[in-house]
Amino acid sequence: MPYQSIDELQKLLGSEVFSHTKDAKKAAGRALGTLVEIITYYLLNEWNFTHNVAIERGLAEYGNAEITHNVEFTMHPVLWRKTIDIPYTGSLSVGKILAAAGEIEGNLSPKSINLIDSRNIVKNACIIAENDAELLLAYLNSLQNNSANVTLIKQSKKPYAMFECKRVGVEEGARKGPQTIEKAKQGAYVAKTTSALQKIRNENGDIQGIIYENGVPVIKPYFALLDEIINQRPQIPDNFILSVGIVSNHGNWFTQENQNKELKVLAQSYDWLLFLTDQGLAQFITELLRTPQAPYAAVKTAFVNSYKENKKENIFTKVKIDLEAHEALKNYFHANINQIIGWFNVISPADQTVCNLQNTLQTLIQKTDRL
């Protein structure tokens, strides 16, 4: 497909979709950040990991729970699972779901929201109830013949992995993006303060990992210790958090060989840093938002309706999305998954692939689910 620079596409979206805003490029950039989040969520969905995912939860700092940080996605142990069919009469409230589900242990306090509302807006990773230690989530599998197929999941509130998505554009008139903006430091701070496995440097400048076990500090080369924890031990340590950063174009960080300061800050802070290429984001925008083929037209409709002048609400986000667009996105990711994996470069760890990350997450799921 013809490749356009993402900066050109951002300006194009600015004139096509955001012309009514005070600052069209800024608004388009803001929307591109949402797209990176959506791409990440539907990639996790295609990998069948979404039953472990919660969205925008406060992640506590390790050993300092009074400070929390909202991160895009966290992955949690699944403690219980049940799939049910519920008669569908135009919307699906928590009350209807819980009534259909029967008795659920745990003294959970229900929320008052809809998994699907009357205008067919569905919520991803929809939290329908919670208690001190657990979340109860509902996932819509399918909706047909006036019947909704829904999976109920009980997750532990304690995550073992987190994902952060970030995008920085190029200032109009500038040739390069800014360096060492606070956003990188903000991401780095969260990545470095939330896990029981902490990073330190030794006198030679090598990154070491330190983790306290029964009050005793264990220090080893970081990536060896990380591999030991994930692949060799039978259990994942309490409060261990694998951090994954997914960043989009910055204007001047092109490849693994050409890192600027900001990318280095991020690369040494996250356990995994993935770079969503301009080509990948451009393909997503072209094939789904600007000139989609018929099966994916609902994605464009949801996007345009979400950003048109005087619109009431956004129905194209990682949490709240038009049902038809949701189904179309699932189908697009399923049909194109091999190509989509190619949208990402692995910046760190060195010599790793996206499939290795998928395998790592799968291993964590197998070791932490309690089914």
Q: Does 182 bind DNA (CB under 7 A)?
A: yes
Which residue's CB is nearer to DNA, number 106 or number 110?
110
Options 82, 261, 330, 334; binder of DNA; rule CB under 7 A: 261
* Binding piece for DNA, criterion CB under 7 A, among 174-182, 211-219, 270-278, 359-367: 174-182
**Nearest distance in Å: CB 345, DNA:** 17
Q: Is residue 213 a contact residue for DNA (CB under 7 A)?
A: no
Options 8, 172, 213, 227; binder of DNA; rule CB under 7 A:
172
Amino acid at 130: E
Bond prior to 110 in cis (omega within 30° of 0): no
CB nearer DNA, residue 27 or residue 230 = 27
Query: Binding to DNA by residue 168, rule CB under 7 A?
Result: yes
Tally of CB atoms within 10 A around 19? 12
The letter for the amino acid at 132 is D
- Near DNA in 47-86, by CB under 7 A: 56, 69-70
Which stretch in 141-149, 169-177, 235-243, 336-344 sits in contact with DNA by CB under 7 A?
169-177
Burial profile 274-302: b = 16 or more Cβ within 10 angstroms, e = fewer? bbbbbebbbbbbbbbbbebeeebebbbbb
Output the smallest distance, CB 320 to DNA, in A: 5
In the complex, what is the shortest distance from the CB of residue 29 to DNA, in angstroms, rounded to a whole number? 2
Q: Which is nearer to DNA, 181 or 335 (CB)?
A: 181
Q: Answer whether 330's CB lies under 8 Å from 45's CB.
A: yes
CB of 294 to DNA, least distance (A): 26
> Among residues 171, 206, 213, 227, which is the contact residue for DNA, using CB under 7 A?
171
Binding to DNA by CB under 7 A, coded x per residue (else -) over 267-296, reads ------------------------------
Binding flags for DNA, 8-47, as an x/- string (CB under 7 A):
--x----------xxx-xxxxxx-xxx-x-----------
Give the shortest CB-253-to-DNA separation in angstroms: 12
List binders of DNA among 314-343 (CB under 7 A): 314, 317-320
Interacting stretch for DNA, rule CB under 7 A, among 164-172, 328-336, 346-354, 361-369?
Answer: 164-172
| # of chain residues touching DNA (CB under 7 A) | 47
Give yes or no for residue 227 binding DNA (CB under 7 A): no
Among 142, 146, 313, 359, binds DNA (CB under 7 A): 313
Report in angstroms how near the CB of residue 22 gets to DNA at its nearest: 4
| HEC letters along the chain | CCCCCHHHHHHHHHHHCCCCCCCHHHHHHHHHHHHHHHHHHHHHHHCCCHHHEEEEEEEEECCEEEEEEEEEEEECCEEEEEEEEEECCCCEEHHHHHHHHCCCCCCCEECCCEEECCCCEEECCEEEEECCCEEEEEEEEEEECCEEEEEEEEEECCCCEEEEEECCCCCCCCCCCCCCCHHHHHHHHHHHHCCCCEEEECCCCCEEEEEEECCEEEEEEHHHHHHHHHHHCCCCCCCCCEEEEEECCCCCCCCCCCCCHHHHHHHCCCCEEEEECHHHHHHHHHHHHHCCCHHHHHHHHHHHHHHCCCCCCCCECCCEEEHHHHHHHHHHHHHCHHHHHCCEEEEECCCCCHHHHHHHHHHHHHHHCCC
**Which residue of 9, 77, 148, 169 would you call a contact of DNA, by CB under 7 A?**
169
Q: Are strands 161-166 and 242-247 parallel, antiparallel or unpaired?
A: parallel
Q: Which residues are near DNA by CB under 7 A?
A: 10, 21-23, 25-30, 32-34, 36, 56, 69-70, 93, 111, 127, 164, 166-172, 175-176, 178-183, 186, 248, 261, 306-307, 313-314, 317-320
